[in-house]
Amino acid sequence: MSSQEIPEENLPAGQDTAHGAVKVADDPFADPGLPPHKPRIQDIDERAARRSERAVAFMFTLSMLATIGFIASYVIFPVDKIVYIWPFGRVSALNFALGWTLGLALFFIGAGAVHWARTLMSDVEIADERHPIQADAETKAKVMSDFAAGAAESGMGRRKLIRNTMFGALSLVPLSGIVLLRDMGPLPEKKLRTTMWTKGLQLINMNTNEPLRPEDVAVGSLTFAMPEGLSEHDHHFQTEIAKAALMIVRIQPEDIKDKRELEWSHEGIVAFSKICTHVGCPISLYEQQTHHVLCPCHQSTFDLSDGARVIFGPAGHALPQLRIGVNDKGFLEALGDFDEPVGPAFWERG
């Protein structure tokens, strides 16, 4: 389209309509201004505004109900209840309910706020004057002149050896940051799944450092044990004892309610992990009459006469049991490792 075909009112400033010549104007793009304000229906119809107000209030109310549901879920669902929900599969009922209710509570707060802002709050547009941010020609020339003088004085063009080695140094320096990532590893692999306990390892009393005999464990007593071959002077002692620490109690066989616990015991002597399944605190408080052990950190309570299941507190899993027996010398020994990872639960128990 030629300039003769463009309406005169649409030509930029400086257009010579007679000869078609265009002169460069100071600002070739004229300020188009703001479009005319179009009121929303809520601005002119109070009934529509009331509907929007009720919609926002309804979403905020749903958020409150979801928050109440979050609190109710924490009370209703036991920590060890597993349910099947398609398409998620088998999940913790408590975690699923807490996640959905909290998510809905936050979503409806956000949705209500957005609807409030778009329908009821003021939507009048306000323009701010734009000022040029580029430097003037004199400043540009001074900067370029200084840069050229600095480059010449540095000898970057002539001394290529310095230039190339500098670029090499700058390129390699970031690699030091990548090397620091090594401290994030190595990966645990299966170290969290297993402990030092293997078949044939004797149970060593942590107070006397002597192997335990069945007669050393009295009914109602609590004894702490560690694997044979582990010493407090070993550099890996803390790492291994954090997984392998045992508590040994003796219960009358007729008082043991869990069938597997009875099968894995020896004459009523049972061995359970000492590491709480909540956050890994060492368990040390035992009540003889009820056979309950208490974690001193957050009061998780386990019943040692019923598979060490959780009967109170935030722990999510029972304490793992170690199957024990007696060797030829009459000492208590392990008959394998724990059947599940010890300590705090990690994703899908490993």
Which residue, among 69, 104, 74, has the nearest Cα to 92 in the 3D structure? 74
pLDDT of residue 272: 94
Which residue, among 301, 299, 280, 300, has the nearest Cα to 290 in the 3D structure? 301
Alpha helices, H only, the chain: 41-44, 46-76, 93-119, 137-154, 160-180, 237-244, 259-263
Tell me the two tokens of residue 46: 């109070």
- Integer Cα distance of 300 and 311 in angstroms: 8
DSSP per-residue codes, 260-279: HHHHTSBTTEEEEESB-TTT
**CB contact at 8 A, 270 and 249:** yes
**CB contact at 8 A, 316 and 307:** no
pLDDT of residue 1: 47
Q: What region does 188 belong to: left with phi over 0, alpha with psi -120 to 50, or beta?
A: alpha
- Tell me which residues of the chain have a pLDDT lower than 50: 1-4, 6, 11, 14-15, 17, 22, 348, 350
3-state secondary structure (DSSP) of residue 325: strand
- Integer Cα distance of 285 and 274 in angstroms: 11
What is the number of H-type helices and E-type strands within the chain? Answer: 7, 13
CA 50 to mean position of chain CA atoms: 42
DSSP per-residue codes, 148-215: HHHHHHHTTTT-HHHHHHHHHHHHHHHHHHHHHGGGG-S--TTTTT--S--TTPBEEETTT-SB--GG
